[in-house]
A and B are shown apart, each in its own frame.
Chain A
Amino acid sequence: MDYLLTDEQKMARDMARKFADSELKPIADRLDREHTHSPEVVKALGEMGVMGVAVPVEYGGGGMDYVSYALIVAEISRACGGTGTLVAAHNSLYCYPMLKFGAEQQKQRYLVPAASGQSVGCYALTEANAGSDPAALRTTARLDGDSWVINGEKKFISNGNIADYVVFAATTDRSKGYKGISQFVCDVRETPGYKVGRVEEKMGINASGTAELIFEDARIPKENILGEPGSGLRQMLATLDSGRISIAAQALGIGRAVLEESLEYAQQREQFGRPISDFQAIQWKLADMATQLDAAELLIWRAALLEDKGLPFEKEAAMAKMFASDVAMHAAIEGVQILGGYGYCRDYPMERHMRDAKITQIYEGTNEIQRLVIARNLLKKRK
């Protein structure tokens, strides 16, 4: 499908692939077992511009388009799903809202060091009782002189354990419902009353930390609100729409790893005197995997291309996220099946792919929410 890409997009992908194969793939198993990210990898990615792929060069980023971004996230995730989360959350959920909604001074102060990879950022939206329904959030922001005083707890925050910068949502006026929600940015090193709570024990994506963030009378400067007060929900939805493309790309990358390893194994594993790839039962699995992954990739490219062209892409991003994560999970289950007992054991990376793939159906909007978004878009048109 290379001919659909520009030379620059191909170069960006090849660069990411080369890096992922030589620097990330060899350590992915260790990162998974030790539940840790690699600071060296993050630093190297920063130098390559990957910690701010679609952020303009003047703000420290890579200055590329969203198609390139999707290609890069897929390549990184092909080598290590967890690092894929780290990169996707940092780019899509921290850099994106800072770039789109931050004022010039906020960008200089909070975006430049993140996009150039010196610091990691995170996005704190979810709370214990506000997951798919972000308007139910309880974290409050109260203006007190020159500061906002923040109280609340955020949950399941990707990169929360290592982030220097946080974009978070809070309500300034609960009586206004979702119209009272605003987004803020803070440097956690300068935020008294902020602390990282529990770091979750997860099934997969263990190279990415998922943490609870606690704001207890935390004080941030008054000017750290993003955009107009009350525009939080709109900002959130736009951020999540864009982020979904990166999760689709992450799922695709994991699925590609599954396919590659399934192909390799099926051709070398012999039973009944011949490679199991000779058997139709295995061939069908491989054929389905390859077809579904290609279809997912095209959906991802379409959504990213729409975003690059400044056209609406909400429905397309939801389709790409839902489909890519479903086919990645399906591929991973079949991949484990093809490898049989070996697939179930940790000597092969296949079981890690299965654990990593599962989250892509859940976060950045569950696939049930994606279907809702798609259906709403369809029905809106008919009215």
Chain B
Amino acid sequence: MKSLVCLKQVPDTETQIKVNPEGTGIVTEGIKHIINPYDEFSVEEALRLKEKFKEGEVVILAIGPDRATESIRTALAMGADRGIHVNDPAVNTADPFAVAQALAAAAKDVQYDVIFCGHRAIDDDFCEVGAMLAEFLGLPQVTLVTKVEVAADKKSAILERDIEGGKETVEVPLPCVVTSQKGLNEPRYASLPGIMKAKKKPIDAKNAAALGVSVEAKLQSKEYSMPPERKAGKKIEGLEPPDAAKQVVQALRNEAKII
């Protein structure tokens, strides 16, 4: 069972995000980075499939600057076999379209039964890359997956996916692109022997030229801004409860305009 896992390095969820003075991005200095949590589900699922079929390979594919190597190594320490690191300034900061193009180009040299992507990255929240990647490769895609059952012949899979208020079960021919949703699994921790082994596992470094892609972004990021600070709440005081309730209703209707 061979899986290709697309992985993105994102700022730690605990990090306090600040917009840089130019408004062109966030301050990345001093920030701790982690594997996008949805991609961690992907790594875990790919490892479980390989363990279940007792054969195969888990390849980690990441786009990002030098520090993205740390996240690839962490996935290798969890048990993945090898990594591909696309590190090219033009791609690293590109829009989802260009990123998906680069991933598609890199995927061409890899054998896989399933490609896993996180259903979204917790930094920019585009939720687009998995879908675009499937389109570029001409593969079926199943999004928001919470359960994966691959048929013994590896020709198809039964997948469970989140839908509003419930679950949908779908059957899909392989290879396909799966986007991972919370609930898919509980990712394992890297082990110490895994960390030592990860040191010796290969990571292929590639740039856009090596992949043969020309980056044509469709989107241009214009500005980053922090959400406005929350205003202080309004207190209604000194009234009998029925009168106070009336005031609240009025405020909700006329000022907040939410009812």
Contact = CB atoms under 8 A, between A and B. Distances in A.
B192 A64 contact: yes
Interface of A: 7-8, 11-12, 14-15, 18-19, 44, 47-50, 53, 57, 61-64, 68
A48 B73 contact: no
Interface stretch (B133-141, B167-175, B193-201, B203-211): B193-201
B interface majority secondary structure: helix
A49 B74 contact: no
Contacts, number: 52
Contact of A11 (B188, B190, B193): B190
Given A11-B74, A11-B77, A63 B192 contact: yes
B189 interface: yes
A141 to B, nearest CB: 35
Contacts of A49: 191-194
Q: Chain A at the B interface: mostly helix, strand, loop or mixed?
A: helix
Contacts of B198: 11
B205 to A, nearest CB: 16
Contacts of A19: 189
Residue among B188, B193, B195, B196 with max Cβ neighbours from chain A (10 Å): B195
Contacts of A7: 70, 73, 199
Interface string B76-108: 010000000000000000000000000000000
B193 A63 contact: yes
Interface of B: 70, 73-74, 77, 188-196, 198-199
B196 A63 contact: yes
6 contacts: A8-B195, A8-B196, A15-B191, A19-B189, A48-B189, A48-B192
Contacts of A18: 189
Contacts of A57: 193, 196
Nearest to A46: B191
B194 to A, nearest CB: 8
A62 B191 contact: yes
Contacts of B190: 11, 15, 48
A63 B192 CA distance: 7
A251 to B, nearest CB: 23
Contacts of B74: 11, 14
